[in-house]
Structure 1
Amino acid sequence: MLASNLRPGAADALLFDLGRVVIDVDFVQVVSRWAAHAGCAADDLAPRFVRDEIYHGHERGTVSDAAFFAHLRGRLGIDISDAQFLDGWNAIFVGPMPGIAPLLARAAKRLPLYAFSNTNVPHVAHFTPRYADLLGHFREIFLSSSIGLRKPDAEAYDHVVRAIGMPAEKIVFFDDLAENVEGARNSGLQAVLVRSTDDIAAALNALEV
């Protein structure tokens, strides 16, 4: 879904979410791995997982891995080790989104690229070396667990815009969640809802990037 005002010269920088925009993720793999460790059915675990304040705190870097896994142990009702929780937690990553690598390479020749992701410390440690080539296109990557702020809070976008050092209206943001796109637009950025890599390609074409 393209922002209506995308046109040549409308962007001085591009800002990308990571999950399901740059790197494909599949939470089914997480639950399946946990279920295998616990010896139970994945279908029993999935409804018990809730993105609550402990989850959000883990993404802001205010809740430790040990506290997060302890919380999950109680909520999911499974008695597996922290190492087993971590194994499942990192199973979420599938690989690069189809077709994203050449699009980033193409865009980086014309404009500075940045990334902004709601994520957590163990995920960062896991995906950073595995996708180093892909992530190398970004001049800076803003991580919620590092900056202590997460989308769609206005303070998070304001922090990133200040760090980039360009007017918000000259930054085009790509995210797969409607609430994050709305938050970005409310903070003055242009924003594109990404349902597939085709939406990114269409936006780059509209910008003549």
Structure 2
Amino acid sequence: MLYIFDLGNVIIDIDFNRVLGVWSDYSRVPLATLQQNFTMDEPFHQHERGEISDEAFAQQLCAQMSLPLSFEQFSAGWQAVFVGIRHEVIDIMQRLRAAGHRVVVLSNTNRLHTTLWPEQYPQVRAAADAIYLSQEMGLRKPDAAIYQRVLEAENVSAAEAVFFDDNAANVEGARQVGIDAILVKDKTTVPDYFAANA
């Protein structure tokens, strides 16, 4: 089988409130205002597909949110999203590989984040056979094409794949192409799935 794991809130806990907190400290814009104004709209999607640079994304988002930040300050906040690794998921990934299954990561991410998390959490790369990143593929979940690209690269059919993601739209996108997809609601979802399907 091919087991596909999302990164954020599946393997690594993330929290965008931490990002906004750092930006608020730098800019003196109240956190509540930033929480109200922060949206993952088209520039966010373009950044994840690698269509715009980190600098262009920072510029657009700061203008949109009236944030007077330097690129360095923006980056410091953007990198604060990562909370910590879910060791129980890393253990499961390693057990799956030891049992002869193929284990990959499929993440909507961006260059700014990939300058940090691979070094900060080397366990992820060590536990995966391959890592598929939206900004390198020019595609992002829940587009059907990104799942099909992974299936083709791994040379498996949709029926031979299981996908874990914390975003309902991404789960539905995977199901649309025939992949068995599991919505990760909290830290117990992945361990509970494998306990039930042992």
| TM-score scaled by length of structure 1 | 0.91
Equivalent residue for 1:179, pick from 165, 169, 176: 169
Q: Deviations over 1:164-204 (max 9, x none)?
A: 11111110000011111111010111111111232212222
1:143 aligns with 2:133: yes
Partner residue in 2 for 1:124: 114
- 189-198 vs 96-105, greater mean Cα deviation: 96-105
How far is the alpha carbon of 1:138 from its aligned partner? 0.6
The letter of the residue matching 2:90 is: A
Secondary structure of 1:24's partner?
strand
Root-mean-square deviation over aligned CA pairs = 1.2
Equivalent residue for 1:91, pick from 80, 83, 88: 80
Partner residue in 1 for 2:103: 113
- Looking at structure 1, the residues matched to 112 and 148 of structure 2 have their Cα atoms a distance apart, in angstroms, of 25
Extract unaligned runs of 5+ from structure 2. none
1:195 aligns with 2:153: no
- Looking at structure 1, the residues matched to 152 and 141 of structure 2 have their Cα atoms a distance apart, in angstroms, of 15
- Looking at structure 2, the residues matched to 33 and 154 of structure 1 have their Cα atoms a distance apart, in angstroms, of 35
* Identity of matched residues, %: 37
Q: Are the aligned partners of 2:111 and 2:135 in contact in 1 as well (CA < 8 Å)?
A: yes
Partner residue in 2 for 1:46: 35
Give runs of ≥4 in structure 1 deviating > 6 Å.
none
Partner residue in 2 for 1:75: 64
Q: Deviations over 1:34-67 (max 9, x none)?
A: 0111022111111111111111000000011111
Flag the structure with more relative contact order, 1 or 2, with Cα contacts below 8 A and sequence separation at least 6: 1
